[in-house]
Structure 1
Amino acid sequence: MSTMDTQKHLFFFVGRIASGKETQSVRLAEKLGYKVFMTGAKFREIVASGSLLGNRIKSDYEQGLLMPSWVANYMLEEFLFNLPPTEGAIFEGSGRDVDQARVIDEVCTWLGRTYTVLNLDVSEDEVIKRSLLRGRDSTDKDESVIRMRLAEYNRSTKPAIDHFKSIGRCIDINGENTPDEVHAEVMEKVNALLA
């Protein structure tokens, strides 16, 4: 059996803010026994450090801006290069712009890793409602910041999702349903891929 035959699938969750990416990433990872790489959690860890980078990330976040692609790409590449081929992984928050989408495709292709992007499709109205309810931090309670993040999604992440779709790597999931219903749809589509 070649190395390619034993490589595990990689899954990337994308979608608007508050679409359930983190919840569904954790649930899928538990079901498959895969590792989880969460860009947002990694950024929060850096912010908590109070370092120069952490303070810059915090400032950009509070303004509703995405991090520069090179920061996210570096963290993603480091994780992928150190992931044994016999282990699968779930990525939450990676692929947020076309540059990151191309890096994901290029690195995964170069490493011979099969991957699928799972797009949790949620309307802007639902995002605003969920963000105001969850209030993870003070910026989640500010509708103007939420709207800035939605504008950034439309400007950066939507074209990345369109790129993944154009190369046949993206599957849409109805993220408007309950977390259990979303998970059931994720599992149905993932099981079909892994069959």
Structure 2
Amino acid sequence: MSARLVLLGPPGAGKGTQASRLAERLGVPAISTGDIFRANITGGTELGRKVQEYTAVGALVPDEVTNAMVRDRLAQPDAAEGFLLDGYPRNVAQVAELDAILAELGRDLDVAVEITADAEVVVERMLGRAEIEGRVDDTEPVIRHRLEVYALQTAPIADVYAERGLLVRVDGLGAVDEVTERLLSALEPHVA
């Protein structure tokens, strides 16, 4: 199956959970900038230390760092027939960069999927996750700041993809299996 898609949605909407499920069902790699960042933080790399400076205060990692990582990852053989990007693009400038990367590779994006979720539910989810996973940076003020950053910088991406006729919105609230089925149904007309 060929599927090249971007997964959008506010922090805590369930993108990570759904990305891995969708990637498995579609037979494409899930490419998460968050996972790449966390691996570098855990590994104590120079990039990890830079990333942690930003994420600890709820800020986004600079575009040039993120763009280079995505460019390299999409050029790998397992992404030739498809991919699911989770956490990229995060702003309109990154949409243009992704367009350039895909043009260089001779590929097109099939669809952008936005998982929607109520902000208060997202805050509760993320606070619960922080407690379970011991994420010290996921305090309520930081989570609310991330949601504000999302609304200002990332949400406008949905408008760009909507103008191109590539956007599909799916409610991210409910049981995990229900959300997965909603997503697969919404994607069906867009992937080969």
TM-score, normalised relative to structure 1: 0.89
Question: CA offset at residue 85 of structure 1?
Answer: 6.9
Unaligned runs of 5+ in 1: 1-6
In structure 2, the residue matched to 1:178 is: 175
Higher mean alpha-carbon deviation, 62-71 vs 153-162, is at 153-162
Contact kept, 8 Å, 1:8 with 1:86, in 2: the verdict is no
Unaligned runs of 5+ in 2: none
Question: CA offset at residue 107 of structure 1?
Answer: 2.3
Looking at structure 2, the residues matched to 184 and 131 of structure 1 have their Cα atoms a distance apart, in angstroms, of 23
Looking at structure 2, the residues matched to 87 and 98 of structure 1 have their Cα atoms a distance apart, in angstroms, of 25
Higher mean alpha-carbon deviation, 154-163 vs 79-88, is at 79-88
Looking at structure 1, the residues matched to 10 and 62 of structure 2 have their Cα atoms a distance apart, in angstroms, of 18
Which amino acid in structure 1 is aligned with residue 37 of structure 2?
Answer: F
Is the counterpart of residue 11 in structure 1 residue 5 in structure 2?
Answer: yes
2:128 to 120, 130, 133: 133
Contact kept, 8 Å, 2:28 with 2:79, in 1: the verdict is no
1:167 to 164, 167, 171: 164
Contact kept, 8 Å, 1:47 with 1:55, in 2: the verdict is yes
Instruction: State the percentage of identical aligned residues.
Output: 30
Contact kept, 8 Å, 1:8 with 1:114, in 2: the verdict is no
In structure 2, the residue matched to 1:119 is: 114
Q: 1:48-99: CA deviations, max 9, x gaps?
A: 2223321121121010001111111111111112246752211111111111
Give RMSD over aligned pairs.
Answer: 1.8
Q: How many residues align structurally?
A: 188
Looking at structure 1, the residues matched to 152 and 105 of structure 2 have their Cα atoms a distance apart, in angstroms, of 29
Looking at structure 2, the residues matched to 95 and 104 of structure 1 have their Cα atoms a distance apart, in angstroms, of 7
Looking at structure 2, the residues matched to 92 and 102 of structure 1 have their Cα atoms a distance apart, in angstroms, of 17
Question: CA offset at residue 109 of structure 1?
Answer: 3.7
Question: CA offset at residue 149 of structure 1?
Answer: 0.5
In structure 2, the residue matched to 1:90 is: 84
Contact kept, 8 Å, 1:37 with 1:89, in 2: the verdict is yes
Contact kept, 8 Å, 2:29 with 2:79, in 1: the verdict is no
Is the counterpart of residue 100 in structure 1 residue 94 in structure 2?
Answer: yes
Q: 1:21-59: CA deviations, max 9, x gaps?
A: 111110011112211211100000111222332112112
Looking at structure 1, the residues matched to 79 and 51 of structure 2 have their Cα atoms a distance apart, in angstroms, of 31
Looking at structure 2, the residues matched to 53 and 86 of structure 1 have their Cα atoms a distance apart, in angstroms, of 26
